[in-house]
Amino acid sequence: MLELWIRHEVRESERRCALSPADAGILIRSGVRITVEESPQRIYPLEDYVAQGCVTASAGDWVDAPESTVILGLKELPEEPAQLRHRQVMFGHAYKGQPGAQRLLERFEAGGGLLLDLESLADEAGRRQAAFGYWAGFAGAALGVLQQHGDLHPPIAATTSAELAERLRKYRDRPARTALVIGALGRSGRGAAAALVEAGVTPTGWDVAETRNLDRDALLRHNLLVNCVLAGPGTEAFLQRADLARPESQLTCVVDVSCDPGSPWNALPLYDAVTTWDAPAITVGSAAVIAIDNLPSLLPRDATDTFSADLTPHLRDLEGLTGAWQQCVTAYRTAVSAR
């Protein structure tokens, strides 16, 4: 029998969960056993999971779970234990040379566990099967609009997409601003465009064709840039710090939804560390730069429900690591062998 264990997220600003109570109930009724840890910030209360038949545990108890249990989470693990012996479903951010990547892989290797990185959960054509991209783009573009109108007041509290859209609509009668979304055809790009339209802005959309021979002068003629490109080998920088210092630059805000400052393939090497919900923007040249690495947590219920609906059909394949999970296994083994 497959046993899933939903762990508490150690990051205080992380309110999402990979699995909603409703989808947990669907899995339980199909024969899956699910344990859910207590978590004070998770958008869904523990009682909602209990009502669906989940078993409860204290935060952090996953370390003592039976070795056959699959641990389900989203963001970074605590520093201990040093050896990771379980199969862990999460966003590991360990395959692009990011800070801390080698240490994480060492912990899995030492404990005999397995990192099933959700970024690698893809079909044979490379299409990701579950992602938070749409709401990341929506949230990022919305924060960019708020920044431009002097209405970004930290600390920023979680909300819903309906409430955020209503807040954006009040800017529709303000002077028009120009916005550029790079990676416009992907999930994040579509979400960013939707938020901008709510604010009365019709964005310019660039994707692979428009960035193959990048027109940086045209880029700089926009007021707001929202980067939604998933960087990889060969990705070139769209902007450098010197570009934002150019007198002809009209950029007043740059939102990096992809947010990968530690990667050698970072498309926006304008900053050295991510920004936070308490300090969402830094100033670089003429522009404010927003680079929050868990943007969908602004919309935790919307993000959880959408992601969970995508992920749930694949969770049934975890017991035999069949289907798209084979892509995760291959990515992990390749990364470990390359260390």
**Cis amide leading into 155 (omega within 30):** yes
Q: Record the tokens describing residue 169, joined without a space.
A: 């609509």
DSSP codes joined into one string, 202-262: --EEE-HHHHTT--HHHHHT-SEEEE-----TTPPPS--HHHHTSTT----EEEESS--TT
Cite the active site residues.
Answer: 75, 93
Cβ-contact 275, 290 below 8 angstroms: yes
Pairing of strands 179-182, 204-206: parallel
Neighbour tally for 126: CB within 10 Å: 8
Q: How far apart are CA 143 and CA 298, in angstroms?
A: 10
Q: How far apart are CA 194 and CA 203, in angstroms?
A: 9
Largest CA distance in the chain: 64
Cβ-contact 107, 84 below 8 angstroms: yes
Cα separation of the two ends of the chain: 34
CA angle (174, 275, 311) in 5-degree steps: 90
